[in-house]
Structure 1
Amino acid sequence: MSETDSLLMQQEWRVIDQSSIGPQFPALESFAMDDTLCASVGSGQSTAVARAWVHHQTIVLGIQDTKLPFLQEGLDYLRKHDFKVIVRNSGGLAVVLDEGVLNLSLVFPENERKIEINRGYEAMWELIRLMFSDFPVTIEAKEIVGSYCPGSFDLSIQGKKFAGISQRRIRNGVAVQIYICVNGSGAERAELVKGFYEAAKRQVDTKFTYPDIVPSVMASLSELLSTTLSIQDVMLRFLKVLKEHSGKIFSDSLSAQEWPLYESYLTRVVERNNKVFDSLKES
């Protein structure tokens, strides 16, 4: 892909850094935040946005996960391991968020011409390759069988997955999101999700195929690069690449116009989430 055709090249990058708020920052707020920014960027109220976020001890389930035959037992297993559980409003399956996992969202306007789905994924893959270009490794994008939330744009080094990418589209705005296992044990995170599926599915045949998780195919970047990386180290790399692909980057938070939109998206996300868990109590 040529430099000029890269989605990373933006006149301005508006940066919203929520990577150090701490354990009191609930993950549902992040999904409402990205929906808000999608709508804001799509309507032309905002330039392209790059957002960073970290959540503590949270498992994010996909819609398909809520259809598991013994979901309540799966939830009990996760809570026993001191993890909160939420359901996101987009595709994909269960992922682990903790203080060693950095999430990045790139929010692009889709006004002049349509952004094909793969082009969004490729922009994020390009970003990550540039962020770690000083290491003598090849970062591949392909499905890693045996990983949690497998997809065709799993990012891996030597067959071990450290990141997964998803997309969300609202009103001419495209949010490309990635979780990056920066430090800690990738295999331990995978063990946790494996235990969840074992408790929630057991040996029952289901219409939907859930992943058969092999913890050894997952690792953190610190493990794969044999170096100690902190969230802050990776944030500096992230901002450096954005700076190289923009006339200007500036730090920001939600505007006065965006707050009411955020409140309405948050209400919607919370209500949808509660509905899933309320239906469990009734069954």
Structure 2
Amino acid sequence: MSAQPWSCSQLAIVHDPSRGAAADLARGIELLRAAASGQLPPTLRLYRPYPTVAFGQRDARLPGFDEAAEAARGAGFEPLIRKAGGRAAAYHQGCLIVDHIEQHDDAIAGSHARFGLLGELLAEALRRVGVDASVGEIPGEYCPGEFSVHGNGPVRVKLVGTAQRVISGAWLFSSVIVVEDSAPIRAVLEKTYAALALEWNPATAGAADDLVPGLTVDTVADAVVAVYEDVVRRS
């Protein structure tokens, strides 16, 4: 795979309102299938999600899952089980979800490289708005991943989690950027991870505005689009 994370010189930008936790995920799969059938151009979909705890497949098989799901509901977050990704992740309307969907003849071939390429692209977007951001897992983070994006401060905090769904003929790369109001996310993760008996360090759950006070979702969304557009112009 080349240094450019997609093959087309054009990218459709869609700012999409949230339809609810389950409907938002279903919409992503709908767009992925449309891309695979040639009905959707390379697309960047951005939206502010409904408060959700997205559990991984492994979480759903743990003895404490029902308790964890109830804890999420009690905290005002809708629990759901996602197809892609690892452990439980929480997000709300202070977050930005970025879905990059694209048709590809061999979507599996470049799947690992996309994590690094697109993780670095999102870190660059955060750096443009003043966040000292880097790519890489930090010890004790929730939903740990090799290509998480974290913010560097007195304590390193996870700011972006990424996941990927690949089907025959297309891929969907989904990123959750935590921009505002980290406290409810940290609180619901403490409850759900305790129910699942999973160890983690709550200090790693933060938001970009913990590091750059006053930062907003709209500002970060503009930075993400600008970074993508720079890559398109260079293609």
Change in Cα spacing, 1:135 to 1:98, as seen in structure 2 (3 Å) is: closer
- Indicate the structure whose relative CO is greater, using CA pairs within 8 Å and at least 6 residues apart: 1
Partner of 2:191: 195
* SS of residue in 2 equivalent to 1:11: coil
- Aligned equivalents of 1:114, 1:215: Cα separation in 2: 34
Change in Cα spacing, 1:223 to 1:173, as seen in structure 2 (3 Å) is: same
Partner of 1:170: 167
- Aligned equivalents of 1:133, 1:78: Cα separation in 2: 32
- Aligned equivalents of 1:95, 1:65: Cα separation in 2: 11
- Aligned equivalents of 1:148, 1:156: Cα separation in 2: 12
- Aligned equivalents of 2:33, 2:107: Cα separation in 1: 17
Larger Rg belongs to:
1
- Aligned equivalents of 2:66, 2:128: Cα separation in 1: 45
- Aligned equivalents of 1:142, 1:29: Cα separation in 2: 30
- Taking only the aligned residue pairs, the percentage that are identical comes to 21
Is 1:96 the equivalent of 2:93? no
- Aligned equivalents of 1:134, 1:55: Cα separation in 2: 23
The TM-score, its normalising length taken from structure 2, stands at 0.87
The correspondence for 1:240, drawn from 223, 226, 230, is 226
- Aligned equivalents of 1:113, 1:60: Cα separation in 2: 24
- Aligned equivalents of 2:76, 2:25: Cα separation in 1: 22
Taking the TM superposition and a 5 Å limit, the aligned residue runs for 1:261-272 are none
The correspondence for 1:13, drawn from 7, 11, 16, is 11
- Aligned equivalents of 1:222, 1:176: Cα separation in 2: 24
Change in Cα spacing, 1:229 to 1:48, as seen in structure 2 (3 Å) is: same
* SS of residue in 1 equivalent to 2:13: strand
8 A Cα contact 2:95 2:180, kept in partner: yes
Partner of 1:230: 216
8 A Cα contact 2:131 2:208, kept in partner: no
Partner of 1:214: 201
Q: CA deviation at 1:125?
A: 1.6
- Code of the residue aligned with 2:68 in structure 1: it is G
Count of matched residue positions in the alignment of Structure 1 and Structure 2: 230
Partner of 1:257: none
Give me the CA root mean square deviation: 2.4
Q: CA deviation at 1:137?
A: 5.5
Change in Cα spacing, 1:66 to 1:82, as seen in structure 2 (3 Å) is: same
* SS of residue in 1 equivalent to 2:118: helix
- Code of the residue aligned with 1:245 in structure 2: it is V
* SS of residue in 2 equivalent to 1:65: helix
The TM-score, its normalising length taken from structure 1, stands at 0.73
- Code of the residue aligned with 1:38 in structure 2: it is L
- Aligned equivalents of 1:76, 1:125: Cα separation in 2: 32
- Aligned equivalents of 2:195, 2:131: Cα separation in 1: 37
The correspondence for 2:116, drawn from 101, 113, 122, is 122
- Aligned equivalents of 1:104, 1:33: Cα separation in 2: 13
Is 1:154 the equivalent of 2:148? yes
Q: Any unmatched runs of 5+ in structure 2?
A: none
Q: CA deviation at 1:37?
A: 2.0
Q: Any unmatched runs of 5+ in structure 1?
A: 202-209, 248-283
